[in-house]
């Protein structure tokens, strides 16, 4: 495999990894918001 093709593949994989990392961050943020809303709606009488 040529170095240029290896570099292109690595660049592509790095882009996919960055996208997966961003998606995971959004999932964690969404989970945090969902938990906050849940506790706000259900724990007022505690």
Q: What is the pLDDT of residue 1?
A: 74
Give the pLDDT confidence of 1-27 residue by residue, as tens digits: 799 999 999 999 999 999 999 999 999
Where residue 2 falls (left for φ over 0; alpha for ψ -120 to 50; beta otherwise) is beta
Write down the domain spans for the chain.
Answer: 1-46
Q: What is the 3-state secondary structure (H, E, C) of the chain?
A: CCHHHHHHHHHHHHHHHHHHHHHHHHHHHHHHHHHHHHHHHHCCCC
The pLDDT of 24-32, averaged and rounded, is 97
Confidence category of residue 37, pLDDT binned at 50, 70, 90: very high
pTM of the model: 0.70
Instruction: List phi, psi (to 5°) of 10.
Output: -60, -40
């Amino acid at each position: 495999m040529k170095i240029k093709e290896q570099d292109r593949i690595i660049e592509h994989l790095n882009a996919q990894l960055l996208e997966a990392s961003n998606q995971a961050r959004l999932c964690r943020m969404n989970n945090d918001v969902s938990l906050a809303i849940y506790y706000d709606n259900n724990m007022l009488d505690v």
